[in-house]
A and B are shown apart, each in its own frame.
Chain A
């Protein structure tokens, strides 16, 4: 048996698993177009024979546009904040030597091993003291403190040749201009990956958003959709319509930027 070709049996298993992974999404999309009676029919209707828009009409009686806007504001805000803060910090951690550099960097790395969620309770009491619960700043700013982006940018900034900076220095380039016109353009690929990564994480940060919001208009899209679960019967059609709308932006972004995203994930973890 040769390794350059994988055995047929593994090809079949992987293809079958891929179908199983796609099925929930097929079920969401077809379910969104089924009326309740059909959605809960046994045997199941594999394809909606009489597609209806009823579920979307019911869904949009809720402030879905506002929820969507909130999700974009929160995920977008985190994205911009993380990219700015992380590229500045990553650059000096990689390219400068100054007292405390190693200590500061080890502190960031150590914090990365800690799950974000274990600090949510004290973070909540702190933001409550600030009066930041149910505000955009309460939803956005805490996420900027997480050091994953700094780590990623530092790894990437290390590949920038030092001669380039030295030449700019000799030409009398100021530190801020050097960062803006030399370093930032070089960091662009890494920043693209970090941006997509942060945006997706921000969109999907259900737990933080659940505890940091109170009112219906401040909810993000996933949170809003989760509240549609009925108390006695589950309105599957409406939930599927909501699930479809909550996932489509992310899936689109992922498909469009898969390459940059894959690079970003790989950069921090895989050697070579």
Chain B
């Protein structure tokens, strides 16, 4: 990097010092506000920690959670949300990106913008309008389904539909970034690859499977990882639309953490839930990395 003339010992030492000084603010903020709370969360999870209590209880919080029906239900809902939302988000985003990436710059920006709208506007605004759309008495969704002879449904109040109603809102807020990334990746695939395949009379299905999809793999990995993490974290939509109800049918681990800590004041139990969620996410991210990607650059 530097010419030998500049590589004197004193210079190198000063260069190191400067580098550490430049890193200091980042490291300071990171250690104080990310690393320390992470360790503190693990520590608190072994305590019965409420507003006026702090007592070591070993693994009791964890033991309690493994037998707690609402926690198990929340974990099931969380996994269900991820399993349903992630594939739909990926498939929909690839489909939209394939359709728009060859269009004029103007049209591409327009569509990217439209599909990004729900992600960029406040989640509170999104839930306000969806609450009105889903309203059992005067919601527009029931008005539309009534034309098909359907009886009104309390979309967010019925245990059979509530979770899916939540997932739909989650999907609309999740596809924006994947579409932007897929459009960018598709634009990077050299046209000659596809032309060559066309000369060899490959049909569009083959071209997609054999050329386009493999070329999208690095982007796929990134999108799958961030969409999975986002789906695991869904909180505001649930808190504002259903508060985890009816009967914990839409409660997720993240919502449970909030409820345990900030509604019921049990920080120890909430921290244990946070730790378990982090472990689940960590394991799933590792599996995704192992199966999907080896050529991701850092």
Contacts and interface: CB of A to CB of B under 8 A. Distances in A.
Interface string B104-125: 0000010111111110111111
Contacts of A244: 125
B37 A122 contact: yes
A25 interface: yes
- Overall SS of chain B's interface: helix
Interface in A103-125: 104-105, 107-109, 111, 113-125
A211 B132 CA distance: 26
B298 A109 contact: yes
Contacts of B267: 121, 125
B22 interface: yes
B291 interface: no
- Overall SS of chain A's interface: helix
Most interface-central of A120, A141, A166, A236 (chain B CB within 10 A): A120
A119 B274 contact: yes
A240 B122 contact: no
B222 A239 contact: no
Interface string A22-43: 1011011001000000011111
Given A14-B100, A88-B25, A262 B180 contact: yes
B19 A92 contact: yes
Contact of A206 (B16, B143, B236): B236
A27 B36 contact: no
Given A14-B100, A206-B123, A270-B184, 13 more contacts: A25-B117, A41-B138, A111-B35, A114-B278, A119-B34, A120-B274, A121-B44, A206-B122, A211-B261, A222-B125, A226-B240, A239-B128, A243-B129
Interface of B: 1-3, 6, 15-16, 18-20, 22-23, 25-27, 29-38, 40-41, 44, 49, 92, 95-96, 98-100, 102, 109, 111-118, 120-126, 128-133, 135, 137-138, 140, 143, 172, 177, 180-181, 184-185, 188, 194, 198, 203-204, 207, 218-219, 222-223, 225, 229, 232-233, 235-236, 239-240, 254, 257-258, 261-262, 267, 270-271, 274-275, 277-278, 281-282, 285, 297-298
